[in-house]
Amino acid sequence: MWPAASSLSLSWIRHAALSVFPPSEAHSATPHDHKDFSAPKGSRNCPANPPRSLEEEGDARKAESPKIKPTSSTSAPTWTPSQLGEAVFSVVTQRMRFTQAASRYGIPKGTLYDNILGKSRRMRAIDEMGLTAEQEARVLEFCCSVDLSSPAVAYNRRTARSLREVLAFVGRLTGGRTARTSVKRGFRWWWAFCKKHSVISLHYDDLGINGRKETMPYDHDKIDLERDTLEDLIRRGRGSAG
């Protein structure tokens, strides 16, 4: 029978506890089984390996990825200025198409486009020539030999006229105002004109007129495509041939 609660002494409570939980069982855990779950000093409530931010993850991946040596976009071209000049000359005098000249001289087609047509606003050559809508219609009729009043010729217009013939017609049409159009300016206008009116130029073999072919050798030191006209080049070619 348990004694009254008022008469319990501290020694009796200790004795009762030891009798229920012997010291051999209370301290039987070995040091190896004991685990210390206390956090280290200064890191309470902080995980051992905190998650990294997205920026840190990206930096870590860049550091682990193999280094790739960047290629220089300003590497020296594989063609010479003389080859570029000859390629441009071949295109604007209708000796070759852009693709043909690029393949023959090893020059990117985009480089030829930039050197001949400019890098931007390529259609402004239409305004620079200064033809009226009526004059453009007459040029279109001359080039394609069609009647524009017919709706059947609205698409797939083709011409076998050479650039020399077209510019000569434009010169007569404007009363001689465009007679001194340079080779490059004339080609730029013709390219833009074909784009505007959906004309496919089939003439890419010579600068003949009325069936006559002309000799026109390329001379880098004497030719100025921004100033010389096609007639200038042809006269020069005839002189060198004679």
Whether residue 173 is contained in a domain is answered as: yes
Alpha carbon distance 194, 201 (integer Å): 8
**Interval 52-58 mean pLDDT:** 62
Alpha carbon distance 188, 147 (integer Å): 25
Q: Is 209 a residue whose pLDDT tops 50? A: no
Closest by CA to 118, choosing from 203, 181, 192, is: 192
**Interval 47-76 mean pLDDT:** 60
Q: Is 58 a residue whose pLDDT tops 70? A: no
Task: Tell me the pLDDT band of 124, cut-offs 50, 70 and 90.
Answer: very high
Whether residue 143 is contained in a domain is answered as: yes
Give the pLDDT of residue 189. Answer: 96
Alpha carbon distance 105, 107 (integer Å): 6
Give the pLDDT of residue 162. Answer: 87
Q: Percentage of the chain with pLDDT > 90?
A: 29
Q: Is 97 a residue whose pLDDT tops 70? A: yes
Single-letter residue type at 183: V
Give the pLDDT of residue 76. Answer: 80
Whether residue 97 is contained in a domain is answered as: no
13 or 157, higher pLDDT:
157
Whether residue 157 is contained in a domain is answered as: yes
Query: In terms of C-beta distances under 8 Å and separation of at least 24 residues, what long-range contacts does 95-101 make, across chains too?
Result: 95/204, 95/205, 95/206, 96/204, 97/204, 100/204
Alpha carbon distance 103, 87 (integer Å): 10
Structure confidence by residue, pLDDT tens digits, 99-112: 999 999 999 999 99
Which residue range forms the structural domain that includes residue 167?
121-241
Alpha carbon distance 57, 55 (integer Å): 5
Whether residue 10 is contained in a domain is answered as: no
Contact yes or no for 163/185 (Cβ under 8 A): no
How many domains is the chain built from? Answer: 1
**Interval 91-96 mean pLDDT:** 88
Give the pLDDT of residue 169. Answer: 93
Whether residue 8 is contained in a domain is answered as: no
Structure confidence by residue, pLDDT tens digits, 145-188: 766 666 555 555 788 888 888 999 999 999 988 888 888 999 99
